[in-house]
Amino acid sequence: MERMKADVVVIGSGIGGMCAGALLAHAGYKTVVLESLALLGGRYTCIDWQGYEIPTGGHIVNHGKDDPICRTLEEVGARGVEFREFKIPVRYRVGGRDVDLGEKGGLGNVVAAASRDEAEARRVTDAVYAAIRREEPSDAISLRHWLLRLTDNERIHNIFQCQATAFTGVNAHEFPAGEFFRFLRTYARLRGPLVPRHTGSSIIAALKTVIEEKGGCVLTTTRAVKILINKDTAEGVVAERNGRQQKIEATVVISNVGPKKTVELAGARNFESRYLEQVAEQVKPSAAMDYIIVSEKPLLDSLLFSTDAQRTEAWSPTSLFWPEDVPKGMHVMEGYAAPPSSVGYDPKAEYETFLGDLEREFPQFKECGGRVLLARQFCGDWPVNRCFQGCDLDQKTPVEFLYNVGDGVKPSGWVGASGAALSGRLVAEDVRRRVEPRHPLTAR
C-alpha cells in the first residue's frame, strides 16, 4: 500500500470540509482533502447542464460579509469569487394577495395580511419578537405547537411553515420551537444575503486553490474506505483511487460525510455506546423536493412564498441575480417544497402536487414557454440536512482528533451552508489550539 503523511485529512469536499481544510492549510498544516466523486463541493456546487448551471444545493450566502463562508474566504485570502447583493423583494402570497416582507425581514406585514383581526396579528407578532429578543420557547415543543397556543389560523401557520421549510427542509411540526427563534435571532443580527456567481462552485474552487497553494492537495474520485484509529485516537485514513489503496497518516481526521458515515468508516467498536445511541437517534435527514423551471418570459420578480398552495413552496427567480450566466433570453426559477413529513412520503405524489401548484400559482406558465427542466429530491443519504434543525451533534467525537463537520453538526441557531461552514471554522479553531503542524510546507 502506498503511504503519504499529512497533518490533516478531510473526508468530503462540501462547504464544511473545504472551509476547515482551507483554514488549516492557510495556518500551515499539510492538508489533504478526499472527495469520492468526480466533482468537488457536494451539495454546495453546480453542474452545467443544457446551458444552465444546476445548483446541487442551496447557495445563497445567508449572512453576507458576516457569514462564516465570507469570513473564511477573507481570512484565507481566497480570490476570484464574485458576489451580488440579494436585492429582490421577498413576498408572501396570502389569500391570493402578494404581500412584501417588511424592512429587515419584519414579518409584521405578512402576519397582518393573514390575520382575522388586528388583535390576532398583534398577539402573534408580539410573541415572535419577544421570542427573538428575549427568551425563546423550549425545544421540547415544535414550532407549530408553539404557534397553536397563539392561533389556529392556518394562513398564519403557513407563513411559519414557509420559513421553516425554506431554510431547513423541516416542517413546522418537526421543528424544535426554540431552535427556530435562535435561527431568526442569528438572521436578524447579521448582514443580508449575497449571491455568489456560479453558485457555490466558485467558492469551493477558491478554497481549493488556497489548499493547493499552501502545499496541500484536493483529490477527486478518491474514496475514504477506512478511518484509522489507535488507542482512541485518529491516526489517518485509508483511501482508494482507481482500485488502488493508499494510507494517509495524519494527526487529525475531519469527516464531512456525516456522523453516521464517520462511525461506519471508523468502526462502531471505537465509539462509546452513548455516542452511538446519539448518532442513531439524532442523525435523521430532512427531505425536500426541488424543481428547476426555465421559461422564455420571466415568471417571477421576487422571492415568493406561496402560503395558499397545497405545499408551501418557495419560488426563487434565480436567473435575476446573474442573468448573463443563463442562455440568452431564458429565465430560471427554482421551486422548493418540503413533503408533509421527512419520512414515508411518495415523491411521485409530491411531484403531481407540485405540478398542480405550479399551474395555479403561475397560470401564465405555458404562455411564457415554461418547462420543468429538472425535478429532484433531497433525502436519505443526500438530504437537505443530515440532522433535523436543532438536533445536530457536536463536532467533536469521542475519538481524539476525529471531528465531524457539515450539516449534521451545525451550531445551534445556524442553518444550511452557513452552519456547515461555521462547523468547519470551529473545528479548524480547535485543531489550531491543540496541535502544532508537523509537516509545514513552503508555499509553491
Partner 1 sequence: MSVKVHQMACTGCGWCVVSCPQDAVDNRPSFVARIDEDLCTHCLVCLDYCPNGALVDE
Binding residues for partner 1, rule: CB under 8 A, are: 37-39, 42, 47, 49-50, 54, 56, 221, 347-348, 351-352, 374-383
Nearer to partner 1, 56 or 306 (CB): 56
Nearer to partner 1, 39 or 435 (CB): 39
**365 and 299 in contact (C-beta within 8 Å)?**
yes
**222 and 243 in contact (C-beta within 8 Å)?**
no
Instruction: Annotate 379-424 with DSSP letters as a single string.
Output: BTTB-S-SS-TT-PPPSB-SSBTEEE-STTSPPTT--HHHHHHHHH
Nearer to partner 1, 173 or 241 (CB): 241
Q: Which residues of 226-236 are buried (b: 16+ CB within 10 A; e: fewer)?
A: bbbbeeeebbb
CB 333 → partner 1: shortest distance, Å?
A: 17
Nearer to partner 1, 129 or 351 (CB): 351
CB 378 → partner 1: shortest distance, Å?
A: 7
With both helix axes pointing from N to C terminus, report the angle between 68-75 and 201-213 in degrees, rounded to the nearest 10: 30
CB 380 → partner 1: shortest distance, Å?
A: 5
CB 250 → partner 1: shortest distance, Å?
A: 24
CB 389 → partner 1: shortest distance, Å?
A: 19
Q: Alpha-carbon dihedral of residues 135, 139, 145, 148, nearest 10 degrees?
A: 0
Looking from the CA of 120 toward its CB, the CA atoms found within 13 Å total 18
CB 376 → partner 1: shortest distance, Å?
A: 4
CB 314 → partner 1: shortest distance, Å?
A: 18
Q: How far is CA 38 from CA 185, 385, 386, in A?
A: 38, 22, 22
CB 251 → partner 1: shortest distance, Å?
A: 28
Q: How far is CA 36 from CA 10, 12, 17, 190, 375, in A?
A: 12, 7, 13, 35, 24
CB 207 → partner 1: shortest distance, Å?
A: 19
Query: With 0-12 CB in 10 A as exposed, 13-18 as middle and 19+ as buried, what is 329?
Result: exposed
Calpha distance 124→107 (Å, rounded) = 10
Calpha distance 203→399 (Å, rounded) = 31
Looking from the CA of 396 toward its CB, the CA atoms found within 13 Å total 10
Nearer to partner 1, 54 or 90 (CB): 54
**Distance spanning both ends of the chain, measured CA to CA:** 28
Nearer to partner 1, 205 or 287 (CB): 287
CB 293 → partner 1: shortest distance, Å?
A: 14
Nearer to partner 1, 50 or 442 (CB): 50
Nearer to partner 1, 197 or 241 (CB): 241
Q: Shortest CA distance to 258 belongs to which of 45, 429, 409?
A: 409
Nearer to partner 1, 276 or 372 (CB): 372
Nearer to partner 1, 17 or 42 (CB): 42
- 429: cell is 479553531
Q: Shortest CA distance to 100 belongs to which of 305, 362, 311, 359?
A: 305
Q: Alpha-carbon dihedral of residues 327, 333, 338, 343, nearest 10 degrees?
A: -20
